Structure formats: structure tokens, C-alpha cells
Structure 1
Amino acid sequence: MEGPTVLVVDDEEDLLSLLEYNLEQEGYDTLLARDGVEAIEQTREHEPDLIILDIMMPKMDGIEVCERLRKDAHLRTIPIMMLTARTEEEDQVEGLDVGADIYLGKPVSVSVIISQANALLRSARRYADPPDQIKVHNLRVDRDRYLVYQKNGEGDEEELRMPRKEFELLYFLASHPGKVFSRQEILDEVWGRDVYVVDRTVDVHVRKIRQKIGSEYIETVKGVGYRMKE
């Protein structure tokens, strides 16, 4: 069987070569892009299983690349790992806001990058089970199609599209209405125990979900975490 395909996007030739060699040693098929425009073209042509994306690049930066991919119905569920020298908290929040699954600051070892890539792909496979739907309140969460449907005032369903991690977080909470989960429990279940992400990641994703479905569904339990309202 062929290994998963990873698209590495960076304008540093040394880093591209280093990651290409090490990923292929681990059994990955690799694609390379040196700017944001090429990244979009490669993604549309090959639909990789994972994207490792730098932010500061020529022609189109990683933030815009991520935004465009998350708006594309065919590409929006591809896991994206942001790998960048911009390590301030506001930079991390911006990356998560546009749909990155994890955000790693440079410098970072190749072994950590590969470990996080493996963990992201394991997490993605956990949600590739047979078709399943959850109905809670006026929401229908369709795991097979990665879509959320919400009934409007007239009783008609409106389709809502979410990036992969927003969908998986909503699906997880909707699977356990009324149960409170800490941020760490949510990180472990949705991102996986081997993926390095900070607690703030959960807060950012919950805020984005609330913006799309309304603020009345996911409750904040102060000092603990979040739950789907019964």
C-alpha cells in the first residue's frame, strides 16, 4: 500500500529537502511547494492527506492559503499543520482561527514534526468510520459527509460547513449531551493524546463553532470546560 501523501509548503529550500528526506524515510509520499500559490495548485491537483504549511511565504502567505482551503468543499477537511517562526500568542490564535489543526513554532525538530504528522493522521482516520448522524436540538451532525444541518424558523434545514477540527469537536460534544469535558479531555479525544496543542486551541474552536450555530448550544462550565446543552 502507498503511504499517506504530505504536501510541505515552505520557501526555505534546506527545510524542504530535510523534511522531504525524513518523511519519505517514514513511508510518506511527499509533495513540495515553495509559495502559497503553488500550494493551492498542488492541493487541488493531488488532494494530499496532510499539509505542513509555513506562514511567511512569497505570492500568498500561509494564512490566506489556509483560509482558501477551508472554504473549498472538497479540500476543507485536509489536516493542516502550521510550521512557522511566528510564535506570539496572537499569531497562534490567528492560525487556529483560519482553520489550522495545530501550530508549531520554529525551530522544531524533525522528529517532533513527524510525530505530530502521525498523530494528526491517526486522528483523521478515527473519523473515517461508516456513516453516522447525531441529532441534538435543531442540529443534525453528519459524520459521513462532514456537514452540519440546522433547522431555521420555518423548519427547513440549512447546511453549515466547518473545518475538520471544528466539526470533530462539535460531533464529540453532541455525542455526549449534558456531560462536562475539561479542555484537556477534549484535546485528548479530538486532537489525540500525541498531538501537541495548547488549551487555548479549544477555546478558539468553540468560539468559531458558536459563531456558526449560535451561542446557546455549547455551555461554558467555569473552571472546568465545556458541554453540549441537554
Structure 2
Amino acid sequence: MNPKILLIDDNEDLLLITQIILKGQGYEIFLARTLEEAERKIKIHQPTLLLLDVCVGDEDGRQFCHKIKASPEWSQIRIILMSGDDCAENRLDIADDFLSKPFDFNELLTKVNTAVSAAAA
């Protein structure tokens, strides 16, 4: 079974392009445009990895990251935070990795592959 990745962002173009790239690498991809939708899809699909924007509309992806990591049921899910704002507080306080936007797709693949490998270990 292919690893499952949930992409969480309110930027439709970014979601679609990232989905195409990751599907091409054999990952099973799900999309969420809000944190409420993301939570529903985590329950249904049980992803290995979340690619989570720091700001999803007016919602705070960092708080959602804290919620996931604090949950006994979901704490094993790897999370890569993404943001166009490269300030230090967006980085690895609770996420497993950070990806600055706009990102190079080779960097995306490297970080995703690393996170999925770590989850499987």
C-alpha cells in the first residue's frame, strides 16, 4: 500500500500542482482546504504525513499541528509545516520539518521522502 499524504492549504493551485507531483512519485494524496476538513480526512484516511500550511485561510496551522501531536491517536503522524513567512517561530517547535514557500519541488520530494521513511521506521 502506498503511503498516504494529506495536503492542507487554502491555495488551490498549490494543492493541485503538489498533488500531481506526489502522485507521480506513487503517494496516495488527499486534499483539505480547511482545518475542519483536514480533521475529517485524518479520521477517514489515516495519513502517514501532513503537508500543512501555517495559515489556512484565517486558521492557524501551528495550533492544528499542536493538536495532532498532542493526540494519542494521531501523534505518530509526521507533519511538515509550510509557509511563505520564513520566520523562526514557524519552524520546528512541534512539526517534524518545515518547508518555505514557494518551494523547489526537489526539496519537497526530499523532505516528503525523508518524513515517510522516518514514519515507517
TM-score scaled by structure 1?
A: 0.50
Counterpart for residue 100 of structure 2:
105
Offset of 1:124 from its aligned partner?
2.0
1:59 shift after superposition: 5.4
Contact conserved, 1:39 with 1:65, CA < 8 A, in 2?
A: no
SS in 1 for 2:56: coil
Identity of aligned residues (%): 30
Question: 1:196 — aligned with what?
Answer: none
Q: Is the 8 A contact 2:54 2:90 kept in 1?
A: no
State the partner residue of 1:50: 49
Matched residue count: 121
How far apart are the structure 1 equivalents of 2:90 and 2:6? 22
> Which one has more relative contact order, counting CA pairs under 8 Å at least 6 apart?
2
Question: What residue identity is the alignment partner of 2:81?
Answer: M
Cα drift, residue 71 of structure 1: 1.8
- For the 8 Å contact 1:9–1:32, the answer to whether it is kept is yes
Give 1:26's aligned amino acid: Q
Return the offset for 1:91: 2.8
CA distance in 2, matches of 1:81, 1:61: 14
Residues 88 and 59 of structure 1, relative CA distance in 2, 3 Å threshold: closer
Quote the Cα distance in structure 2 between the aligned partners of 1:81 and 1:48.
Answer: 13
Shift of 1:40: 1.4
Return the letter of the residue paired with 1:39: A
Q: 1:46 to 1:59 in 2, by over 3 A?
A: farther
CA radius of gyration, larger in: 1
Instruction: Judge conservation of contact 1:6–1:52 (CA < 8 Å) in 2.
Output: yes
2:59 aligned partner: 60
Separation (CA, whole Å) in 2 of partners of 1:124 and 1:114: 15
Taking the aligned partners of 1:111 and 1:23, their CA distance within structure 2 comes to 11
Quote how far apart the aligned CAs of 1:21 are: 0.6
- Contact conserved, 1:79 with 1:124, CA < 8 A, in 2? yes
Structure 2: 5+ residue runs without aligned partners?
Answer: none
Higher mean alpha-carbon deviation, 55-64 vs 37-46, is at 55-64
Alpha-carbon distance between aligned partners in 1 of 2:100 and 2:88, rounded to the nearest angstrom = 11
For normalisation by structure 2, the TM-score amounts to 0.93
Spell out the pairing of 1:148-163 with structure 2 (5 A cutoff). Answer: none
Which whole-Å CA distance do the structure 2 matches of 1:42 and 1:86 have between them? 26
State how 1:23-172 maps to structure 2 within 5 Å.
23-58=22-57, 60-92=59-91, 96-97=92-93, 99-126=94-121
Which consecutive unaligned segments of at least 5 residues does structure 1 have? Answer: 127-230
Q: Residue 44 of structure 1 contacts residue 75 of structure 1 at CA under 8 Å; is this kept in 2?
A: no
